[in-house]
C-alpha cells in the first residue's frame, strides 16, 4: 500500500498522476491500462479541487493505492462538500463534442475506463472515492 497527501492545487495534478501511474506500472499494468488509470485519476483529482473544495487551496487530497492480485485500488479522500452522484445528469455521448453537457462527463469517463467507481459520503470522514482497475488479460 502506498499513500500520499497532496495540497488541492491544479499544479499538483501531474504529481498525483505520476504517483498513481508508478504504482500501476509496478503492479504490472500495460501502458494502455496505465493511461486509463491516469485519465480517471486526473479527472477525480480535478473534480475534488473544483467541486468538492470549490477551488484551489481549500483542502488536501489523500491518495492511497493498494495493489491486489486482480489489479489496483485507488482511494481518494477529501473533506470538501458532498454531492449526490445519482443526481448527475445522464451523459449524451451521441452528440458532437461541442454540444456535450459537461456536468457528469467526468464521472462518466471515470466509470468508462475503470472497472469500479464507488463514492462514499460520511460527515466525519469526508468523501471517499474508490476506483478499481483490473489487469487486462
Q: What is the pLDDT of residues 49-71, one digit of tens each?
A: 998 999 999 999 999 999 999 99
- Mean pLDDT across the stretch 93-110? 62
- pLDDT tens string 19-33: 999 999 999 999 999
Output the pLDDT for position 61. 97
Domains of the chain and CATH, by start? 2-134 (3.30.565.10)
- Burial status of residue 49 (CB atoms within 10 A of its CB: 0-12, 13-18, 19 or more): buried
- Work out the mean pLDDT of the chain and round it to a whole number: 87
How far is 115 from 21, CA to CA, in rounded Å? 16
Amino acid at each position: 500500500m502506498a499513500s500520499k497527501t497532496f495540497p488541492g492545487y491544479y499544479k499538483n495534478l501531474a504529481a498525483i498522476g505520476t504517483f498513481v501511474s508508478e504504482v500501476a506500472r509496478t503492479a504490472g499494468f500495460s501502458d494502455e491500462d496505465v493511461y486509463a488509470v491516469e485519465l480517471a485519476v486526473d479527472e477525480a483529482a480535478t473534480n475534488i479541487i473544483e467541486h468538492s473544495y470549490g477551488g484551489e487551496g481549500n483542502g488536501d487530497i489523500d491518495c492511497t493505492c493498494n495493489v491486489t492480485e486482480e489489479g489496483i485500488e485507488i482511494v481518494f479522500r477529501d473533506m470538501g462538500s458532498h454531492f449526490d452522484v445519482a443526481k448527475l445528469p445522464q451523459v449524451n455521448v451521441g452528440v458532437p463534442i461541442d454540444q456535450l453537457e459537461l456536468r457528469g462527463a467526468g464521472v462518466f469517463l471515470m466509470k468508462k475506463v475503470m472497472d469500479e467507481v464507488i463514492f462514499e459520503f460520511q460527515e466525519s470522514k469526508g468523501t471517499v472515492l474508490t476506483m478499481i482497475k483490473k489487469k487486462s488479460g
